[in-house]
A and B are shown apart, each in its own frame.
Chain A
Amino acid sequence: MPGPIQSLERAAAILRLLAGGERRLGLSDVASSLGLAKGTTHGILRTLQQEGFVEQDPVSGKYQLGAELLRLGNSYLDVHELRARALVWTDDLARSSGEAAYLGVLHQQGVLIVHHVFRPDDSRQVLEVGAMQPLHSTALGKVLSAFDPVAHSEVAEGELAALTPRTVTDPAGFEQVLELTRARGWAADLEETWDGVASVAAPVYDRRRMPVGAVGVTGAVERVCDESGIRARLVAAVRDCARAVSRDLGAGRF
């Protein structure tokens, strides 16, 4: 029978060290308190980071427990529960905006569409529930990358593929987009994923104020935008919807 796996034991020791209170530790602190070589410790921390169990503060370079750990427990919000809570408000969003509404969550390296409401005209449309969208170019994906640290690390490690001539592909430029998204509380996609299509999205928070998903509308660029960008009316409708869903999830007023 094989013995315990050493690197897993070490990873567990690191998680225990970071657990308990708001702890942030630098690489050398972790290495020295566990009596490990820096190189070994760094390898384990990076792996844990990839899994979302550990996060590294971009400024100080220190490590702390990652958001993915929170998802492991019972407090994890079921995506179908999220859809059920969002139903009334996303219907209303599609009606008030005249565009198709989407609710997306992070799944692996992309956005999983968990709910889709048709554009309220009589055209034939196909339900896109279950489809995946890119994190780096869609409004939903940018919102998740900006507000959910796990999504952020996924996108930071992936390639920013040029899907249209307007896709932001350089990492520094992309980080600026995320910063703007955090600052104003919503994201846009102006023909960065599909030619002729624009979208706008805002974050949905749960009771613990964790960003659990993003909600938004997508449509033809000439309807969604005016000369200066996304129409203000649509931005307001999307943000109202995100707030209403968050409120139903118990996030309180904000």
Chain B
Amino acid sequence: MTDPQTSADPTGTSSHGSGPFIAAIDQGTTSSRCIVFDRDGRIVAVDQKEHEQIFPKPGWVEHDAAEIWTNVQEVVAGAIAKAAQDIPGFTPADVKAIGITNQRETTLLWDRHTGEPVHNALVWQDTRTDALCRELGRNVGQDRFRRETGLPLASYFAGPKIRWLLDNVPGLRERAEAGDILFGTMDSWVIWNLTGGVNGGVHVTDVTNASRTLLMNLHTLEWDHKILASMEVPAAVLPQIRSSSEVYGTTNVGGLDGVPVASALGDQQAALFGQTCFAEGEAKSTYGTGTFMLMNTGGTPVNSYNGLITTVGYRIGEEAPVYALEGSIAVTGALVQWMRDQMGLISTAAEIETLASSVADNGGAYFVPAFSGLFAPYWRDDARGVIAGLTRYVTKAHIARAVLEATAWQTREIADAMTKDSDVELTALKVDGGMTSNNLLMQTLADALDAPVVRPMVAETTCLGAAYAAGLAVGFWPDTDALRANWKRAAEWTPRMDAADRDREYKNWLKAVERTMGWIEEEH
């Protein structure tokens, strides 16, 4: 058939250019993925695989690190294969570097001689160290190490998890002191394996991941020996702390051959980098398993007086480190998953929007998902989840709405704290992560914040940030200005809610939050 409306037959034309490319591995809480990007920061190929969430007891969350490493190898191979399928003439040699980003704080100890984990990894959401943290606080309390580390003593962070493993796995402390055991967050585990494992794998971590252990001094960026002594963690298990953007070694995994492993960033810091928040005062909020708002505070670590934490944003090679203020929320997307997997009220995460859209409001119900206690701005390990305001009127659709509103109000709480700590007014919120595909949620967020919500064109900013940092390390991109040019606005939601409604709803939310606290009573 002739074709009067187009100038040429487009069959066979690919809208993608040819290489070179950068790959990034995102070893996340629910899944591992690998994405291949081109020079414009466009996605060329993606592969992803979920891993098992292991819940041995209430409040305990574990991952099988061997399964994770298998999945990482598979997704790297998968993404490379897809790129080869879609890009004419693609070869693995077109991948110039690979970057790593990861779920933070999740803690693993493994045997350096066999490469075998000594126990499942203790996931960041795991609360088994809450009593230990109270004990470590001694007479000072939660802020005992805050001046050095920027963090409150909470079960969220890695240090106490190492201590728990050393205390609870028989014989482990002796092996650790003898130098046979390595500790790592998932960045270290992945990099050690990528670079050879038992055959010369490098044992490193980056400043952003190290800043989540409660063991690193935020000012010197070195392990703090006094804290190590207090926490009874032998220095022999610790990786070397490196910058976020440099070549740590090379890898041959997934069909790659001698490709530089050139970046490591905790997932939230990677998202900050991917959103190109390179200037002081720039912030983003990422909506995945949990939600994390980070604001770049430049060369100074800013203390929080409103329940936020102080963390390293990134460090590019030899450059000075950039710090960030962070508001961490443990459970946002995880609550949607809970509705799907534990309650069976929806069959996919996206269906929460369909269910929630079938009613006009929450019917008086509020859901505070304090499944792992409350993180920012409360830091209460003793809190547990609550659904408040129930009457016989409430249906599953109202609960679905309350689930989405929980994410919005939790964001409001940390946004308020951020404004107080930084003196920077929130003029618009840059968002990313899997939950941003939920239109009702994004509108609810704009309404709760009374500020516009903006999504950039690459929702996978976590992987993008790791790719950017790796690309900078090997000269694929010249500098951060070149990266800024890639940022484009994909969507914007503007507030529509009446001020009186907003105030009433926020007040109700805060009332519900109060009811979560003190649920867990001190044991022993």
Contacting pair A228 B7 (CB below 8 A): yes
Q: In the complex, how many angstroms separate the beta carbon of A100 from the nearest chain B beta carbon?
A: 10
Main DSSP-derived SS at the B contact region: loop
A80 vs B43: C-alpha distance when bound (angstroms) = 22
- Which B residues, 311 to 355, have Cβ-Cβ distances below 8 Å to chain A? 347-354
B6 within 8 A of A: yes
Minimum CB–CB distance for A97 against chain B, Å? 8
A61: which B residues are within 8 A, CB to CB?
Answer: none
**Residues A79-117 near B (CB distance < 8 A):** 79-81, 83-84, 87-88, 91-92, 94-96, 115-117
B42 touches A95 (CB 8 A): yes
Residues in chain B near residue A183, CB distance under 8 A: 1
Nearest-neighbour CB distance to chain A for B428, whole angstroms, equals 13
Bound Cα distance from A95 to B458, whole angstroms: 10
| A116 pairs with B491, CB closer than 8 A | yes
Contact call B490/A117, Cβ cutoff below 8 A: yes
Choice from A80, A130, A226, A233 contacting B15 with Cβ under 8 Å: A233
Q: Please, which residue of chain B has its CB at the minimum distance from the CB of A189?
A: B5
Q: Which residue from chain B places its CB closest to the CB of A231 in the assembled complex?
A: B7
Q: Take A81-B350, A91-B458, A129-B439 as given contacts and tell me if A118 and B6 are in contact as well, using a CB distance cutoff of 8 Å.
A: no
Whether the pair A232, B490 counts as a contact (CB closer than 8 A) is no
**Residue from B4, B13, B16 in contact with A232 in the complex, judged by beta carbons closer than 8 Å:** B13
Chain B interface: which of A28-36, A161-169, A234-242? A234-242
Of B7, B10, B347, which one neighbours A239 at CB under 8 angstroms? Answer: B10
Name the interface residues of B345-402: CB closer than 8 Å to any CB of A: 347-354
Q: How many A-B residue pairs have CB under 8 A?
A: 112
Q: Are A120 and B457 in contact (CB under 8 A)?
A: yes
A78 close to chain B: CB less than 8 A: yes
Question: How far, in angstroms, from A201 to B347 measured CA to CA in the complex?
Answer: 29
A48 to chain B, nearest CB (A): 26
Query: Please, how many residues of chain A have a CB less than 8 angstroms from a CB on the other chain?
Result: 42
From 213 to 254 in chain A, residues with beta carbon under 8 angstroms from any chain B beta carbon are 226-233, 235-237, 239-240
A167 to chain B, nearest CB (A): 15
Distance between Cα atoms of A87 and B42 in the complex (Å): 13
Q: Does A16 contact B (CB under 8 A)?
A: no
Decide: B15 and A240 in contact? CB cutoff 8 A.
Answer: yes
Cβ of B511: which chain A residues have Cβ within 8 Å of it? none
> Closest chain A residue to B12 by CB distance?
A236
A19 within 8 A of B: no
Give the contact-size bracket for chain B.
35 or more
Alpha-carbon separation in the docked complex, A9 to B352 (Å)? 36
Known: A116-B491, A230-B6. A78 touches B15 (CB 8 A): no
B13 contacts which of A83, A91, A122, A233 (Cβ < 8 Å)? A233
Binary CB contact string for chain B from 1 to 25 against chain A (1 if under 8 A, 0 otherwise): 1011111111001111000000000
Beta-carbon contact of B457 and A94 below 8 Å: yes
| B438: Cβ under 8 A from any A Cβ | yes
B180 close to chain A: CB less than 8 A: no
A226 in contact with B7 (CB, 8 Å): yes
A117 and B438 contact, CB distance less than 8 A? no
Are the CB atoms of A118 and B490 closer together than 8 Å? Answer: yes
Closest to B493 in A: A127
The answer to whether A120 touches B489 (Cβ under 8 A) is yes
- From B42, B353, B491, residue with most partner A Cβ within 10 Å: B491
Q: Is the CB of A184 within 8 A of B3?
A: yes
Binary A-proximity of B397-427 (CB < 8 A = 1, otherwise 0)? 0000000000000000000000000000000
Residues of B within 8 A of A (CB): 1, 3-10, 13-16, 40, 42-43, 46, 347-354, 434, 436-439, 457-460, 488-493
Q: Which A residues contact B (CB, under 8 angstroms)? A: 74, 78-81, 83-84, 87-88, 91-92, 94-96, 115-118, 120, 122, 125, 127, 129-130, 180, 183-184, 188, 190, 226-233, 235-237, 239-240
Q: List 17 A-B contacts (CB under 8 A).
A: A78-B350, A80-B350, A80-B352, A80-B439, A84-B349, A91-B457, A91-B490, A92-B43, A95-B42, A96-B16, A120-B457, A130-B439, A184-B3, A188-B5, A230-B6, A232-B8, A232-B9
Listed from nearest, the 8 A-B pairs whose CB atoms lie closest are A229-B5, A228-B7, A236-B10, A80-B350, A120-B488, A236-B13, A232-B8, A81-B350
